[in-house]
Amino acid sequence: MRRFERYGVLITGAGRGIGEATARRLAGEGAHVLVTDLDGDRAEKAAAGIRESGGDAEALSCDVADRASVEAAVAYAVRRCGTLDVLVNNAYDCHPDAPLFEDETDEIWHRDLDITLTGAYRCARAALPYLAAAPDRRGAIVSIGSVNGEQDFGNHAYSAAKAGLASLTRTLAGHAAPRGVRVNLVAPGTVHTDAWAGRESCLEAVAAHYPLGRVGLPDDIAAAVAFLASKDAAWITGTTLPVDGGILISQPAFRRALRGE
């Protein structure tokens, strides 16, 4: 099924991980995908891999922390694709917490929020007029949130940014709906990406806490993004879709305590 035939798609942070998997999925369903990443070489490598598999993809370096860079990427996507139908906000930054909250720095707080939340705001602001002009009311924004935005999994700044992104999804959905643009968010649980390199043992330990018995894969998230971006989700907007292996409904330690284990 090629749900994105003749669609123009822009994905941020798409040089690897969830962004790359999403680019591959949408290109595989017919989209012309602009793979953007702060690292232009990484973006080109991802786009080349898509082309080798028969997909239609180009690469462009884009810094979501810079308004001019974002606006240039959107303009390039429209020029190359002829239309912009889908924006996927995937770029993020996440720094580890200091041992004590009072030792957290302003620099880390601002960096995580600027890339993860304000970066998505910049991209949506630049893209919205073009998404509203997409034919057949097919314009869509899908942002990558996190279960960290729903409950405590650590990382103060990153979690606050993801919670803010879920709120922006709801408010922007209300604003954009009369213009024919849907706005939704996918909230992944733990996903095995390059960010976990060298910490595979931690992933194995975490997997035991997931009701479905494993951590996620980038393709799990890409499938959810493809659904929300497609006309299959034509009557869905302003929602947060957890794609989390059940972790948000799971309290294994609490259940063990009830059983006296």
Tell me what pLDDT residue 188 has. 98
Q: How confident is the model at residue 257 (pLDDT cuts 50, 70, 90)?
A: low
Average pLDDT of the segment spanning 139-163: 96
Q: Which among 50, 68, 70, 67 has a CA at the least distance from the CA of 59?
A: 50
Q: Flag whether pLDDT at 258 surpasses 90.
A: no
Contact 7, 86 (CB under 8 A): yes
Cβ neighbours, 10 Å, residue 59:
24
Residue 158 designated active-site:
yes
Among residues 92, 130, 158, 210, the one annotated as catalytic is 158
- 3-state secondary structure at position 173: helix
Contact 149, 165 (CB under 8 A): yes
The proportion of the chain whose per-residue pLDDT surpasses 90, expressed as a percent, equals 89
Average pLDDT of the segment spanning 132-138: 97
Domain 8-258, CATH: 3.40.50.720
- 3-state secondary structure at position 245: coil
Average pLDDT of the segment spanning 139-143: 98
In angstroms, rounded to a whole number, what is the distance separating the alpha carbons of residues 40 and 214? 32
252 vs 132: which has the higher pLDDT? 132
- 3-state secondary structure at position 165: helix
Mean residue pLDDT of the chain comes to 95
Tell me what pLDDT residue 198 has. 84
**How do beta strands 240-243 and 32-37 pair?**
unpaired
Q: Which among 197, 189, 247 has a CA at the least distance from the CA of 218?
A: 189
Tell me what pLDDT residue 201 has. 86
29 vs 203: which has the higher pLDDT? 29
Residue 259 in tokens? 């059983």
